[in-house]
């Protein structure tokens, strides 16, 4: 028994030493409502940045600066980007996912294509000036299926702009549009409703009249999308990948 206790203490001590040897990493998330932290009154709506924080060891701090309704342009104009840029340090990460609000011409957040690209380039350049690591993400897919149950893209043009900027600036790219479309296709037209804010009248007190939302995620959907991001962090072989704690999430 004593031998087992000594071995357990040794393992714990070794784990603590290894943790102390790891340089702290800060990960900033900038983007829109598909990532952001939600107020209690919005639950069960969940941004994928919320579960994302729980998949890393204690050496990683996730600072979620995403805000509902923001585009690249309004994120800059409202002064949301500048504090991030000012506080970046060497080795920090900036995950950049916009597009939902940039691409809709009828929204006040609309950003023309060339300005969208220029804004993404600005995020990359300013992050690199601080020796931080910018990571571009195409916008997460909306739930839209055709008559035969095939997923349809709704961000095609603006997702392609993200790919162009990533290629030009040789920035890491997580093609979340493509990956999340594949996830939705895997679930199918009906079951994919569980990934979004889909509620019947009376099902949740925050939405007494129900909700039919194919853009914003449920708690399950947010976790599944966060796992897509985590998988590509590993695929890209970012240093951050070594800090991921393996946790499996199973759908009921």
Q: Among all residues, which ones are annotated catalytic?
A: 33, 200, 216
The four Cα atoms 132, 241, 35, 89 give a dihedral, to 10 degrees, of -20
Interatomic CA distance for residues 48 and 45, integer angstroms: 10
Strand pairing class (211-217; 196-199): antiparallel
- Say if CB 163 and CB 176 are below 8 A apart: no
Interatomic CA distance for residues 64 and 70, integer angstroms: 14
Interatomic CA distance for residues 136 and 30, integer angstroms: 10
- Backbone φ and ψ for 153, nearest 5 degrees, come out as -75, 140
Interatomic CA distance for residues 6 and 1, integer angstroms: 9
Chain centroid to Cα 21, Å, comes to 27
């Amino acid at each position: 028994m004593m031998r087992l206790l000594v071995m357990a203490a040794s393992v714990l001590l070794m784990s603590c030493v290894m943790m102390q040897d790891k340089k702290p990493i800060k990960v900033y998330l900038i983007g829109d409502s598909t990532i952001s932290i939600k107020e209690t009154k919005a639950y069960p709506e969940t941004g994928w940045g919320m579960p994302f924080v729980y998949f890393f060891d204690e050496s990683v701090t996730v600072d979620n600066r995403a805000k509902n309704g923001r585009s690249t342009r309004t994120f800059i104009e409202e002064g949301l980007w500048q504090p991030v840029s000012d506080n970046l340090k060497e080795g920090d990460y900036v995950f950049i996912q916009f597009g939902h609000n940039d691409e809709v011409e009828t929204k006040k957040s609309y950003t023309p294509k060339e300005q969208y690209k220029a804004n993404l380039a600005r995020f990359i350049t300013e992050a690199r000036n601080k020796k931080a690591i910018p990571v571009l993400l195409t916008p997460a897919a909306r739930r839209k299926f055709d008559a035969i149950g095939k997923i349809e893209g709704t961000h095609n043009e603006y997702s392609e702009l993200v790919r162009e900027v990533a290629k030009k600036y040789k920035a890491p790219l997580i093609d979340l549009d493509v990956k999340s479309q594949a996830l939705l296709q895997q679930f199918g037209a009906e079951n994919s409703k569980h990934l979004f804010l889909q509620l019947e009248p009376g099902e949740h007190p925050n939405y007494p009249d129900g909700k039919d939302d194919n853009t914003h995620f449920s708690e399950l959907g947010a976790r599944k999308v966060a796992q897509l991001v985590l998988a590509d962090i590993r695929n890209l072989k970012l240093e951050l990948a070594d800090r991921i704690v393996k946790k499996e999430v199973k759908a009921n």
